[in-house]
Amino acid sequence: MPSQTESPSAHTRLSSKMKLPNLRKARTGFFGKSGGPSPSIKTDSATSIIDTPETSLSFPTDKSKSNSSVSATRRSSPERPRPSRPTSEIYTSSSSRTDPNGSPPNSVVRSSSVPLSPFAPRLISAQEGQWFHQSVILVFGEVGVPERPIDGTITVHHHLEGYPATQWPVTSGHFKVLVHLDPGMNRLRFDFSASKIAPTSSGIAVNFLPLTSCPPLHLAILLAKDSLGEYECHSDRKLREGNDVRMAKKKFRMAAYLAQLFTGEQMFRHRLGRRCFRLGEEWVADSLSSRDDGVMRSVAKVHILRTQKTVRDIQQREASQDAQGIWDIASEAVEDYFGEIAPAAKRHVAVLVLDAKGELRFGDLRSRSAFSNGLGLCGSRSLYTLPSCLEEVVSAFSDCSRPGDAIGNNDSSESGSFWEIATSAMKNMLEAFISPQPPTQPRDLEHINRTFLMKEPYSFRSKSPGLKFCVPKDESSWPRVDCLRFRYHPCFRIPTDPVPPALPDNPQVYAIENGIVAGAQSGIVLVEICTDGLYRAHREFTRPEREVSLLEDDLRESLPGGHKTRPMKLRIYSAGQGKIVVEDFSTSKSSKVQLPNGYGVAFKSSSLGRPKAGGSEPQQLVLHTVTPGRMLTSIRVFHNSALGGLEFMYEDSSTQVFGRRESSESHEKVEVSDFTLDTRKGESLLGFCVRSGAQVEGIEILTSFGRRSPIFGNPHGGGASNTLIPPRGRSIVGVSGSYTQCVVEFSILYK
């Protein structure tokens, strides 16, 4: 569809008596004054992860030039000044830059000239040829000039009219719209209409690439075996739209799309690219538009699960706040339904418990989510206030009707008006289904409604008028550290990202003289610093670092003044979804081990397996290689379903044994495997890759030449893969741990 309209009505000339103000002068716009600071994104770190080259949200200064990303109605008036389009650095990219996914700019889609009409919609949050990975996106922008604020309506026409047009309000020259995209290129047209103003248009072409290679977020509604399939609902809403499973699916689906576009927009504002999670889909009649009559599309699938428990069982556990009981009921139903679709470690399911009376935000349920624990639970108490389609989004978050006592107004989440209840419902769903858990710092999701509205209605809870303009700095947002944890989650992977490891790659910590070194095969991406049990600061890394030095003086320098001398706790995250917690940074000094015969001091790495297992026998073995002239030639491994022991063999035929030579399990036959080093070429032992859980399930030997042995033991055992390699410039001088019938604890000594 052409982005320029040629209709005579669209070219109706403005009155010659009306002077167009010069739009190049300083103006107050969507993000504030021209050239002034925008709602900049603050970080607690000197180092930041930046997937896009922009660093702040602001308008250009008076002399700045902006490249248009919209095509608009042309008006022939050579004497009039050409207005400059308001832009935002984070939403502007020159032709020499790549898009947020790392792809080159689209050479097929060309930006057109600056719109000559001041009333042509100017898009701020979308660029010509930009790539998106979700089917519903948020677009906001401006209409008119600051000297003449104007209200009206924006009508969005989708690609090839393949989706019903939607209308959105313009408030004092500002607008926010939700746009549906089809896979591939989408040519969109934005029509502005208002009283006494000639209709104007602008257009843009953007691209939608579904992320089919990422694990999806599955949506599911859980019903008791004797459930009627109805949720609690205000009487007026019940008469108008119903409260059955059909309507619950529509509202749940729409809430998921709102959560998706909110998260995707937040990732982009934090300069982490146009990345977002995807929803599991199916080919059914679309419900995202109230104007579609049975049109078939790929939309988010809402699964219906049945538990063997009754409504009474669920509500009794809820009334007693038995979080584990509710969790067990949902887990069993999810496993029965999804067990053959994906293993538990690889699936992420958001479950709406339709028969629950409340929101299910109590006990351990508050610290669990679908992306962090594979399963997130939320109740249906406020479901009736949520929109069921795109056309209802503005009305749902602007409805000032009061629920009264119609459905038992005893919950604080039910106080206020319908729009405030809907906002609380969206907040609870974001926490239960998406948020990284446990939370690092308090989250401000109380005003999630402002993401979808330009003007906020009166608040009955706070007894205050709503915001006149809902600009980004006043909206709710994911904290920076949450977005950094999203960045390397498998569900947020984009095509240019490396394939994540099959198992979580847990970081390992190695003590050094003045601090610690953290390392991981997939790279370290984030270090959170806590004192007194609370988050204080963080260090982030632009690219995953295989090894990072964390020196005590540097870490304390980043802490607030009153906490520089407090004991520090570190949470270290890898790009491979691994995590390790250093409870007390100062205890790293206790990792020193005195070597015999005056060979100095070594350090011990963090232990893998089950430290201090009952009945285990501790052992610490210093290799003969600490003595000059002694050379390790091979390693013999005793194993079956777990690691039984290691025998180190030297050039002078001497040996050392760690663990047991005999069978690691009395009823299993022991297997013996040898791995030989090429000592003639100078090959030496570099480290180990260990699969561990309650015991050491399997072990892999790594050499200085980059060779890896087979996995001895259970190649598929253990809940995580852990690599033990000394920091740069240091070498292995021994191993340490404990064993029973098999090795239950393992670490290395290095100097």
What is the pLDDT of the chain when averaged over all its residues? 83
pLDDT for res 65:
38
Report the C-alpha gap between 373 and 367 in whole angstroms. Answer: 9
CB 214 within 8 A of CB 278: yes
pLDDT tens by residue, 390-448: 999 999 999 998 887 555 444 444 578 999 999 999 999 999 999 998 888 888 899 99
Percent of the chain with pLDDT over 90: 59
236 token code pair: 């007026």
396 token code pair: 């749902």
pLDDT for res 380:
93
In a domain, 498, yes or no: no
pLDDT at residue 11 greater than cutoff 60: no
Higher pLDDT, 593 or 345: 593
Domain span at residue 535?
508-589
pLDDT at residue 26 greater than cutoff 60: no
- SS3 per-residue string spanning 286-316: CCCCCCCCCCEEEEECEEEEECCCCHHHHHH
CB 349 within 8 A of CB 358: no
Q: Are residues 376 and 308 located together in one domain of the fold? A: yes
**Lowest pLDDT segment from 111-120, 250-259, 733-742:** 111-120
Domain count, the chain: 4
Helix (H) or strand (E) holding 239: helix 235-241
Q: Are residues 276 and 419 located together in one domain of the fold? A: yes
Q: Are residues 172 and 236 located together in one domain of the fold? A: no
Q: Collapse the DSSP code of 712 into the 3-class scheme (helix H, G, I; strand E, B; otherwise coil) and give the result.
A: strand
pLDDT for res 673:
93
Confidence bin at 695 (pLDDT 50/70/90): confident
In a domain, 496, yes or no: no
173 token code pair: 């020259």
pLDDT for res 82:
41
In a domain, 492, yes or no: no
CB 539 within 8 A of CB 47: yes
Pairing of strands 131-132, 197-208: parallel
Backbone angles phi, psi at 60, to 5 degrees: -70, 155
Q: Cα–Cα distances in Å, from 623 out to 578, 597, 655, 662, 707? A: 30, 13, 10, 21, 21
CB 620 within 8 A of CB 745: no
Predicted structure pTM score: 0.81
Higher pLDDT, 175 or 661: 175
Higher pLDDT, 67 or 418: 418
- The domain that holds 708 is classified in CATH as 2.100.10.30
Per-residue pLDDT averaged across 15-25, rounded? 41
pLDDT tens by residue, 181-197: 999 999 999 999 999 88
Per-residue pLDDT averaged across 694-698, rounded? 89
pLDDT for res 740:
87
Q: Are residues 575 and 620 located together in one domain of the fold? A: no
Higher pLDDT, 413 or 341: 341
Q: Are residues 424 and 522 located together in one domain of the fold? A: no
Amino acid at site 266: Q
| Closest of 322, 422, 425, 438 to residue 369, by C-alpha | 438
Helix (H) or strand (E) holding 638: strand 632-639
pLDDT tens by residue, 196-229: 889 999 999 999 999 988 999 999 999 999 999 9
Confidence bin at 7 (pLDDT 50/70/90): very low
pLDDT tens by residue, 129-157: 999 999 999 999 999 888 888 999 999 99
Residues with Cβ < 8 Å from 671, sequence gap 6 or more?
638, 639, 640, 712
Q: Are residues 109 and 77 located together in one domain of the fold? A: yes
pLDDT at residue 711 greater than cutoff 50: yes
CB 544 within 8 A of CB 500: no
Question: Which stretches within 381-451 are classed as H helix?
Answer: 393-396, 418-433
- Where does a domain end: 210, 230, 263? 210
DSSP 110-152: ---PPPSSTTS-EESS--TT-EESSSEEEEEEE-SBTTB---E
- Provide the residue count of the chain: 751
Q: Are residues 395 and 263 located together in one domain of the fold? A: yes
In a domain, 239, yes or no: yes
Higher pLDDT, 174 or 76: 174
Q: Are residues 443 and 546 located together in one domain of the fold? A: no
Q: Are residues 316 and 391 located together in one domain of the fold? A: yes
- Where does a domain end: 186, 210, 234? 210
Q: Collapse the DSSP code of 18 into the 3-class scheme (helix H, G, I; strand E, B; otherwise coil) and give the result.
A: coil
Q: Are residues 604 and 460 located together in one domain of the fold? A: no
pLDDT at residue 53 greater than cutoff 90: no
**Lowest pLDDT segment from 160-164, 590-594, 712-716:** 590-594
pLDDT for res 19:
44
Confidence bin at 612 (pLDDT 50/70/90): low
Q: Collapse the DSSP code of 739 into the 3-class scheme (helix H, G, I; strand E, B; otherwise coil) and give the result.
A: strand
Per-residue pLDDT averaged across 502-522, rounded? 89
CB 635 within 8 A of CB 675: yes
Q: Is the torsion defined by CA of 179, 182, 186, 188 positive or negative?
A: negative
pLDDT for res 280:
95
pLDDT for res 613:
65
Q: Is the torsion defined by CA of 376, 381, 384, 385 positive or negative?
A: negative
CB 538 within 8 A of CB 526: yes
475 token code pair: 């909206």
Largest pairwise CA distance in the chain: 103
pLDDT at residue 77 greater than cutoff 50: no
- SS3 per-residue string spanning 526-595: EEEEEECCEEEEEEEEEEEEEEEEEEHHHHHHCCCHHHCCCCCEEEEEECCECEEEECCHHHHHHHEEEC
* Look-up of token digits 């576009």: 261
pLDDT for res 550:
93
In a domain, 494, yes or no: no
Per-residue pLDDT averaged across 303-316, rounded? 95
Higher pLDDT, 449 or 43: 449
Q: Are residues 205 and 221 located together in one domain of the fold? A: no
pLDDT for res 530:
94
Bridge partners of 208, per DSSP, are: 132, 184
CB 725 within 8 A of CB 686: yes
The CA-to-CA distance between both ends of the chain, in Å, stands at 68
CB 118 within 8 A of CB 144: yes
Q: Are residues 242 and 391 located together in one domain of the fold? A: yes
